[in-house]
Amino acid sequence: MNKTILVTGGTKGIGRSIIELFAQSGFNIITCSRNEDELESLRNDVLNKNSHVLIYTKKVDLSIKKDIENFVHYIDGLNLKIDILVNNAGQFIPGQIHTEEEGRLEHLIKVNLYSAYYISKAILPQMIARKSGHLFNICSTASITPYINGGSYCISKFALLGMTKVLREEMKNFGIKVTAVLPGATYTDSWSGVDIPPERFMPSDAIAESIYSIYHLKGATNVEEILIRPQLGDI
């Protein structure tokens, strides 16, 4: 029987690369996005290349708690054993705290922190019952570095790393592995339109490969944090 990976925000960038790599390895996929057309395109691409896997998609706005609740209900209805949860969905909006528009912090906390909190809270009980599973939270170098134009994004990512550390301690005795992934500049839509050569960035495939390798480490080995930067450093 195929294993199952749940990846939030799976239609682009790091999330899509994770899905494509794990589907090639025979994992069933559960994912979500705000865009139904992009979900349909992803579904078709995955199934055309991997006819032996199943993929379940749902349109979800992870900044809205009711949408998260509906997504969790949808997942429960699939009756699948989730082996890996990747809280990947996130949003970057540049700005500085003292000049940011009203509501910026609240919005980015909802997308970058609360979505991971509520989905983890919903999925972990089944992993605890089995005493197996792996949780990856896609943090950022902004989780440890206060970038001058990071503003509320940095705040939300610092908080996500803090939550991941707490979960690592909570899950130790249940046999569940917890990993914080801290990528630097990765070539995704967040950087669209910038006048920087693509080769200056890391490819999203490289982040997916790191997660794949960490998941397949043998025995009681847990990579608590992995910090990944471009060869020439941060941008």
Catalytic positions, please?
Answer: 153
Sign of CA dihedral 31, 33, 37, 41: negative
State the greatest distance between any 2 C-alpha atoms of the chain, in Å, as a whole number.
Answer: 53
For residue 162, count other CB atoms closer than 10 A to its CB: 14
What is d(CA 193, CA 173) in angstroms, rounded to the nearest whole number?
Answer: 46
Residue 86 bridge partners (DSSP): 7, 136
**Encoded tokens for 119:** 């989905």
Beta partners for 177?
134
Q: Which of 198, 162, 164 is nearest to 178 (CA)?
A: 164
The tokens for 161 are: 């790393």
CA distance 105 to 150: 11
Q: Partners of 54 in the beta sheet?
A: none
SS3 234: coil
